[in-house]
Amino acid sequence: MAAPEHPLADKTIKDAIAAGEYSRAWRLLTDIYAVVIFRYCYGMFGGDAVLAEDLTQQVLLAAGEGLPKFRAQSSVKRWVLGIAHNMVRQEIGTRQRRQTVMSRYRDIADAIHPGSSGASTHGGFPELDGHLSSREQQTRLRQAIATLEPRARSIVLLRFGIGTREAELSVAEIAEILGLSRSDAYRRLNMALTQLKKALDDEPA
Protein backbone atom coordinates (compact mmCIF):
# COMPACT_ATOMS: atom_id res chain seq x y z
CA MET A 1 0.00 0.00 0.00
CA ALA A 2 1.48 3.32 -1.08
CA ALA A 3 1.90 5.90 1.65
CA PRO A 4 -0.28 9.02 1.32
CA GLU A 5 1.38 12.29 0.34
CA HIS A 6 3.44 13.68 3.23
CA PRO A 7 1.46 16.92 3.96
CA LEU A 8 -1.89 15.09 4.00
CA ALA A 9 -0.45 12.28 6.11
CA ASP A 10 0.91 14.78 8.62
CA LYS A 11 -2.38 16.65 8.87
CA THR A 12 -4.35 13.44 9.46
CA ILE A 13 -2.03 12.35 12.27
CA LYS A 14 -1.85 15.84 13.79
CA ASP A 15 -5.66 16.09 13.82
CA ALA A 16 -5.85 12.79 15.72
CA ILE A 17 -3.23 13.97 18.23
CA ALA A 18 -5.02 17.29 18.72
CA ALA A 19 -8.23 15.38 19.46
CA GLY A 20 -6.39 13.25 22.04
CA GLU A 21 -6.92 10.14 19.91
CA TYR A 22 -3.41 8.79 20.47
CA SER A 23 -4.20 5.16 19.60
CA ARG A 24 -5.65 6.26 16.25
CA ALA A 25 -2.71 8.61 15.65
CA TRP A 26 -0.26 5.78 16.35
CA ARG A 27 -2.07 3.41 13.98
CA LEU A 28 -2.00 6.04 11.25
CA LEU A 29 1.68 6.77 11.89
CA THR A 30 2.49 3.06 11.74
CA ASP A 31 0.55 2.53 8.51
CA ILE A 32 2.18 5.52 6.83
CA TYR A 33 5.77 5.43 8.10
CA ALA A 34 6.65 1.84 9.06
CA VAL A 35 8.11 1.10 5.62
CA VAL A 36 9.91 4.45 5.54
CA ILE A 37 11.54 3.75 8.90
CA PHE A 38 12.43 0.19 7.89
CA ARG A 39 14.13 1.33 4.68
CA TYR A 40 16.14 3.95 6.55
CA CYS A 41 17.33 1.41 9.14
CA TYR A 42 17.95 -1.19 6.41
CA GLY A 43 20.19 1.25 4.56
CA MET A 44 22.02 2.35 7.70
CA PHE A 45 23.00 -1.24 8.51
CA GLY A 46 23.94 -2.42 5.03
CA GLY A 47 20.88 -4.56 4.36
CA ASP A 48 20.49 -6.28 7.74
CA ALA A 49 16.73 -6.94 7.51
CA VAL A 50 16.42 -8.55 10.94
CA LEU A 51 18.04 -5.62 12.72
CA ALA A 52 16.10 -3.12 10.60
CA GLU A 53 12.82 -4.79 11.53
CA ASP A 54 13.73 -4.82 15.22
CA LEU A 55 14.72 -1.14 15.19
CA THR A 56 11.57 -0.23 13.26
CA GLN A 57 9.47 -1.77 16.03
CA GLN A 58 11.47 0.13 18.65
CA VAL A 59 11.05 3.42 16.78
CA LEU A 60 7.30 2.92 16.41
CA LEU A 61 6.93 2.06 20.09
CA ALA A 62 8.93 5.14 21.09
CA ALA A 63 6.83 7.28 18.74
CA GLY A 64 3.65 5.89 20.30
CA GLU A 65 4.87 6.78 23.78
CA GLY A 66 5.91 10.25 22.63
CA LEU A 67 2.71 11.24 20.83
CA PRO A 68 1.24 13.17 23.80
CA LYS A 69 4.39 15.36 23.80
CA PHE A 70 4.52 15.87 20.02
CA ARG A 71 4.99 19.51 19.00
CA ALA A 72 2.67 20.40 16.13
CA GLN A 73 5.12 22.84 14.52
CA SER A 74 7.32 19.91 13.45
CA SER A 75 6.33 17.60 10.62
CA VAL A 76 5.45 14.08 11.72
CA LYS A 77 7.87 12.62 9.20
CA ARG A 78 10.77 14.74 10.47
CA TRP A 79 9.87 13.85 14.05
CA VAL A 80 9.62 10.10 13.54
CA LEU A 81 12.78 9.94 11.40
CA GLY A 82 14.54 11.93 14.09
CA ILE A 83 13.62 9.16 16.54
CA ALA A 84 14.90 6.60 14.04
CA HIS A 85 18.17 8.50 13.60
CA ASN A 86 18.77 8.63 17.36
CA MET A 87 18.03 4.93 17.82
CA VAL A 88 20.31 3.99 14.92
CA ARG A 89 23.07 6.13 16.43
CA GLN A 90 22.63 4.35 19.78
CA GLU A 91 22.77 0.95 18.06
CA ILE A 92 25.94 1.92 16.19
CA GLY A 93 27.52 3.00 19.48
CA THR A 94 26.52 -0.29 21.11
CA ARG A 95 27.99 -2.27 18.23
CA GLN A 96 31.23 -0.30 18.31
CA ARG A 97 31.62 -0.94 22.04
CA ARG A 98 30.86 -4.63 21.50
CA GLN A 99 33.42 -4.83 18.70
CA THR A 100 36.04 -3.23 20.96
CA VAL A 101 35.36 -5.79 23.69
CA MET A 102 35.48 -8.69 21.20
CA SER A 103 38.69 -7.36 19.65
CA ARG A 104 40.34 -7.27 23.06
CA TYR A 105 39.07 -10.78 23.76
CA ARG A 106 40.56 -12.06 20.47
CA ASP A 107 43.89 -10.38 21.27
CA ILE A 108 44.00 -12.11 24.65
CA ALA A 109 42.89 -15.45 23.20
CA ASP A 110 45.52 -15.29 20.44
CA ALA A 111 48.22 -14.39 22.97
CA ILE A 112 47.36 -17.50 24.98
CA HIS A 113 46.62 -19.84 22.07
CA PRO A 114 47.68 -18.38 18.70
CA GLY A 115 44.92 -18.72 16.14
CA SER A 116 42.32 -19.84 18.69
CA SER A 117 40.01 -16.86 18.25
CA GLY A 118 39.05 -17.93 14.76
CA ALA A 119 38.86 -14.36 13.45
CA SER A 120 37.74 -14.31 9.84
CA THR A 121 39.69 -12.41 7.19
CA HIS A 122 36.84 -12.45 4.69
CA GLY A 123 35.93 -9.01 3.36
CA GLY A 124 32.19 -9.47 3.84
CA PHE A 125 30.89 -8.13 0.50
CA PRO A 126 30.02 -10.40 -2.44
CA GLU A 127 31.86 -9.92 -5.72
CA LEU A 128 29.94 -8.09 -8.42
CA ASP A 129 29.35 -9.43 -11.93
CA GLY A 130 30.44 -7.38 -14.91
CA HIS A 131 26.85 -6.65 -15.94
CA LEU A 132 24.65 -5.50 -13.11
CA SER A 133 20.92 -6.11 -12.96
CA SER A 134 18.65 -3.58 -11.28
CA ARG A 135 18.75 -5.63 -8.07
CA GLU A 136 22.52 -5.85 -8.25
CA GLN A 137 22.75 -2.10 -8.77
CA GLN A 138 20.70 -1.57 -5.62
CA THR A 139 22.97 -3.96 -3.74
CA ARG A 140 26.02 -2.11 -5.05
CA LEU A 141 24.57 1.23 -3.96
CA ARG A 142 23.71 -0.15 -0.51
CA GLN A 143 27.25 -1.46 -0.11
CA ALA A 144 28.71 1.88 -1.18
CA ILE A 145 26.50 3.71 1.34
CA ALA A 146 27.71 1.31 4.03
CA THR A 147 31.29 2.55 3.47
CA LEU A 148 30.33 6.08 4.59
CA GLU A 149 30.83 7.07 8.22
CA PRO A 150 27.53 6.87 10.17
CA ARG A 151 26.58 10.56 10.09
CA ALA A 152 27.27 10.89 6.35
CA ARG A 153 25.33 7.66 5.74
CA SER A 154 22.39 9.02 7.70
CA ILE A 155 22.40 12.34 5.82
CA VAL A 156 22.31 10.61 2.42
CA LEU A 157 19.52 8.24 3.44
CA LEU A 158 17.43 10.96 5.07
CA ARG A 159 17.84 13.30 2.09
CA PHE A 160 17.13 10.91 -0.76
CA GLY A 161 15.08 8.16 0.85
CA ILE A 162 16.84 5.53 -1.29
CA GLY A 163 13.86 4.01 -3.05
CA THR A 164 10.88 5.92 -1.66
CA ARG A 165 9.99 9.60 -1.97
CA GLU A 166 8.04 9.37 1.29
CA ALA A 167 11.37 8.91 3.12
CA GLU A 168 12.95 12.09 1.75
CA LEU A 169 13.60 15.04 4.07
CA SER A 170 14.67 18.55 3.18
CA VAL A 171 18.15 19.73 4.13
CA ALA A 172 16.52 22.08 6.67
CA GLU A 173 14.76 19.13 8.34
CA ILE A 174 17.98 17.10 8.39
CA ALA A 175 19.83 20.05 9.93
CA GLU A 176 17.20 20.16 12.67
CA ILE A 177 17.54 16.44 13.39
CA LEU A 178 21.34 16.54 13.51
CA GLY A 179 21.60 19.86 15.34
CA LEU A 180 23.47 21.56 12.47
CA SER A 181 23.10 24.84 10.65
CA ARG A 182 21.54 24.55 7.21
CA SER A 183 24.82 25.53 5.51
CA ASP A 184 26.72 22.89 7.49
CA ALA A 185 24.12 20.29 6.57
CA TYR A 186 24.51 21.22 2.87
CA ARG A 187 28.29 20.99 3.16
CA ARG A 188 28.15 17.60 4.85
CA LEU A 189 25.65 16.32 2.27
CA ASN A 190 27.88 17.39 -0.63
CA MET A 191 30.90 15.76 1.02
CA ALA A 192 28.92 12.56 1.57
CA LEU A 193 27.79 12.48 -2.06
CA THR A 194 31.38 13.01 -3.24
CA GLN A 195 32.53 10.12 -1.04
CA LEU A 196 29.65 7.96 -2.26
CA LYS A 197 30.49 8.64 -5.91
CA LYS A 198 34.13 7.75 -5.26
CA ALA A 199 33.12 4.51 -3.52
CA LEU A 200 30.95 3.55 -6.50
CA ASP A 201 33.65 4.52 -9.01
CA ASP A 202 36.27 2.51 -7.12
CA GLU A 203 34.19 -0.67 -7.16
CA PRO A 204 35.04 -3.26 -9.85
CA ALA A 205 32.76 -3.00 -12.88
The predicted structure's pLDDT at residue 130: 36
pLDDT tens digits, one per residue of 72-124: 778 899 999 999 999 999 888 776 655 554 444 344 334 434 444 443 333 33
Helix (H, G, I), strand (E, B) or coil at 31: helix
Domain boundaries, the chain: 6-111+131-202
> How many Cβ atoms sit within 10 Å of the Cβ of residue 181?
10
Residue 42 banded pLDDT, cuts 50, 70, 90? very high
Q: Which residues, 6 or more positions from 44, have their beta carbon under 8 angstroms from its beta carbon?
A: 52, 88, 92, 150, 153, 154, 157
Question: What integer pLDDT is reported at residue 114 of this predicted model?
Answer: 46
Q: How many CA atoms lie within 13 A of 109 on its CB side?
A: 11
Alpha carbon of 40 to those of 8, 54, 146, 172: distances in Å?
Answer: 21, 13, 12, 18
Start-to-end Cα distance in the chain: 35
Pairwise CA distance, residues 77 & 79, whole Å: 5
Model confidence at 196, pLDDT cuts 50, 70, 90, reads confident
Q: Coil, strand, or helix at residue 20?
A: coil
User: For the whole model, what pTM was predicted?
Assistant: 0.66
